[in-house]
A = this chain, B = another copy of it.
Amino acid sequence: MEFSIQQIAGMLGGEVKGNGHDKINMLAKIQDAKKGQIAFLSNPKYEQYIYSTNASAVIVKKDFAPRKDIQTTLILVDDPYLSFTTLLEEYHKMVSFQKEGVEEPCFMGKSSLCGSHVYRGAFSYIGNFVKIGTNVKIYPHVFVGDNTEIGDNTILHPNVKVYSGTKIGNNCVIHAGTVLGSDGFGFAPQPDGTYKTIPQLGNVIIEDNVTIGANTVIDCATLFGDSTIVRQGVKLDNLIQIAHNVEVGKNTVIAAQSGISGSTKIGEHCMIAGQVGIAGHLVIANNTSLGAQTGISKSVTKEDQKLLGYPGIDIKEYFRSYAVFKRLPDLLQRLKELEDKVSRTEHIENHK
């Protein structure tokens, strides 16, 4: 992956000042950049570096007027930060999708189909009757069970484990070690104190544009034909637990180590911080914000609330109450003193 400065300027709709033929193979900060790398200058406090940088090119604002000689090639644009971000995204996309073809040994069962530009890493395992779209990247040690469907442009990082019957949409990224479709946690207590396993026969559906972090677990639904569903645009962090029959609404974001219990429906555009726990069979309204470590034991029916605590209450009320909590021993002491005072007063009253 190497582009000429001229090509990059073309991509950004910018103008080259200097040698446009040099090759760029990496992005860097202006203060760290080396030959072959491209940097940007947006914040004036970094201007000093442009006079000494080793970068082969620097993206600057159209009207940038150097106060000294400059060795590096400039690309003049309207918004250097935005242009650099665009380059970053393009670079990231190219890196993410650069692997292609089949590394051996890998395993593919019968009647499974792959689209074009697919990468299947060494030791990846694809079961029977699997449908894989175009430009899908399946890293080493990935397991894809029977009857699974994976949409286009989806990346399964090393060792993602997809149980049979799972459906994954387009443009999804799933990080290493994540498990999709393991059995829901359902057991029926028996008279002798043991538990009988309730068969878990549903599946998991991951819609389009979903990102899931590393070592997260999403269980399958309990009944045939039912699904645990992660709606489009959802972003899940690492080490999250999504139990059977949960539905996570569109564009909801959940941070690391949070857990959603069985059959709970999370609304759209929710922001759930880390280590939050939500009990089962609840409904959480759209646009709900839950602070870190909050526990939710009842449905949240009103939208746009910010909750904290166990059980979660309005975040400002929580902090007001917690401020008093910290002074509770003092408060108790004051109550005692007041009781003494009042009972002395009473005593005096009674003996007047």
Contacts and interface: CB of A to CB of B under 8 A. Distances in A.
Interface of A: 26-29, 32, 88-89, 91-92, 103, 105, 107, 121-123, 125, 139-141, 143, 145, 157-159, 161, 163, 173, 175-177, 179, 182-183, 185, 187, 193-195, 197, 199-201, 209, 211, 213-215, 217, 219, 223-225, 233, 235, 237-239, 241, 243, 250-251, 253, 255-257, 259, 261, 268-269, 274-275, 277, 279, 292-293, 295, 297, 309-311, 313, 317, 320-329, 331-332, 334-335, 338-339, 341-342, 345-346, 348-349
A125 B122 contact: yes
B225 A29 contact: yes
Question: Which 7 residue pairs spanning A and B have beta carbons closest together?
Answer: A92-B199, A324-B328, A182-B214, A143-B158, A241-B256, A161-B176, A179-B214
A253 B145 CA distance: 28
A28 B224 contact: yes
Contacts of A211: 183, 187, 197
Given A107-B122, A177-B215, A194-B209, 12 more contacts: A92-B200, A159-B159, A173-B183, A185-B255, A215-B215, A217-B256, A239-B241, A321-B326, A328-B328, A331-B332, A341-B342, A345-B349
B183 A28 contact: no
Contacts of A215: 177, 179, 215, 217, 239
Q: How many copies does the complex hold?
A: 3
A339 B331 CA distance: 11
Contacts of A342: 338, 341-342, 345
A212 B179 CA distance: 14
B239 A26 contact: no
Contacts of A297: 292
A91 B157 CA distance: 32
Given A140-B107, A159-B159, A279 B292 contact: yes
A163 to B, nearest CB: 7
A107 B239 CA distance: 28
Contact of A28 (B140, B177, B225, B238): B225
